[in-house]
Amino acid sequence: DAMVIQNPRYQVTQFGKPVTLSCSQTLNHNVMYWYQQKSSQAPKLLFHYYDKDFNNEADTPDNFQSRRPNTSFCFLDIRSPGLGDAAMYLCATSRVGRALGTQYFGPGTRLLVL
């Protein structure tokens, strides 16, 4: 089935040690999003790609970077994770930039920072 896949589902890293989360999709959607969701809070958009165009939210820390090497894959890089970066990271896709259709979410990667 077409879907949004996130690996790993759980990631443990050490304070300050770079970590990369991955997302892939078989939906052939042109937009991919990364959200951060902390416990009992709503998801917060970090950035999104519209095709190859990268769009960073104004309040996303510089510590967070992203790469999209092709349509199917998108990566979230956290250069120096702090304790406050422990959260669920959600990847989503949509068909067009204005999200005429549904945003499809992956299962998320839960990041723990020790």
Partner 1 sequence: KQEVTQIPAALSVPEGENLVLNCSFTDSAIYNLQWFRQDPGKGLTSLLLIQSSQREQTSGRLNASLDKSSGRSTLYIAASQPGDSATYLCAVLYNAGNMLTFGGGTRLMVKP
- Of residues 63 and 107, the one with the C-beta less far from partner 1: 107
Q: Total residues at the site for partner 1 (CB under 8 A)? A: 27
* Site residues (CB under 8 A) for partner 1, limited to 52-111: 55, 57, 88, 90, 92, 97-108, 110
Q: How far is the CB of 42 from partner 1 (least distance, A)?
A: 4
Q: How far is the CB of 31 from partner 1 (least distance, A)?
A: 7
- Of residues 50 and 73, the one with the C-beta less far from partner 1: 50
From CA 112, how far away is CA 89, in angstroms rounded? Answer: 11
If one asks whether residue 6 binds partner 1 (CB under 8 A), the answer comes out as: yes
Task: Judge contact between 109 and 7, C-beta under 8 A.
Answer: yes
Pick the closest to residue 85 from 99, 104, 70, 65 (CA basis): 65
Q: Give the sheet arrangement for strand 73-78, strand by strand.
A: 4-7, 19-25, 73-78, 64-67
Tokens of 40: 């009992």
- Of residues 75 and 105, the one with the C-beta less far from partner 1: 105
Given 3-state DSSP classes, what are the helix, strand and coil percentages for the chain, each rounded to the nearest 5?
Answer: 5, 50, 45
Name the residues that contact partner 1, by CB under 8 A.
6, 31, 33, 41-43, 45, 48, 50, 55, 57, 88, 90, 92, 97-108, 110
